[in-house]
């Protein structure tokens, strides 16, 4: 058994869609980034790659490569799973937390779980998604960004 931790944070800006866990969430701002800036999926990719000892998302999908410009991050997650499975690893479970002052994310948890489960080919019951605020503190608490943290447990070798 091996574990990996991933973390990502992006700035909220006008004129972008808010995508978390592959779900478009109605909100007046979206996350700024080279791809769709889905912090939950990016943190999950880093957790999986870290658990497998295979670096990080930036090494595999650089933010200066036009191939990944505006890409739906779920596609990066699918590719990440292909990479770790080729190395003989199997995903056991995922636990994640999204840090956002707004919007309220609980209504979207099940849709995010289903998207991620389909992308990584596991049962939705092996995925946990939580959301919390930062009680008004820092850039997230002031509504300037959203972050996410994931831990992944994988097996094999």
pTM reported for the whole predicted model:
0.95
pLDDT value of residue 25: 97
**CA pair distance 138, 75, nearest whole angstrom:** 31
Count of the separate structural domains present in the chain: 1
Q: What is the DSSP letter of 108?
A: G
How confident is the model over 4-49, as pLDDT tens digits? 999 999 999 999 999 999 999 999 999 999 999 999 999 999 999 9
3-state class (DSSP) for residue 4: strand
Domain with 101 in it: what CATH number?
Answer: 3.30.1330.50
Domain that holds residue 52: 2-156
């Amino acid at each position: 058994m091996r574990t990996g931790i991933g973390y990502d944070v992006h700035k909220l800006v006008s004129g972008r869609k808010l995508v978390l866990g592959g779900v478009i969430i109605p909100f007046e701002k979206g996350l700024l980034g080279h791809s769709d800036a889905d912090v939950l999926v990016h943190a999950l990719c880093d957790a999986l790659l870290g658990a497998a000892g295979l670096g990080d998302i930036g090494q595999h999908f650089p933010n200066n490569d036009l191939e990944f410009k505006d890409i739906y991050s779920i596609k990066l997650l699918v590719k990440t799973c292909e990479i770790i499975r080729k190395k003989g690893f199997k995903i056991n479970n995922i636990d994640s937390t999204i840090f956002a002052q707004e919007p309220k994310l609980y209504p979207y948890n099940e849709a995010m779980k289903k998207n991620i489960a389909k992308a990584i080919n596991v049962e939705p019951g092996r995925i946990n998604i939580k959301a919390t605020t930062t009680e008004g503190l820092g850039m997230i608490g002031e509504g300037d960004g959203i972050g996410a943290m994931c831990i992944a447990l994988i097996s094999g070798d």
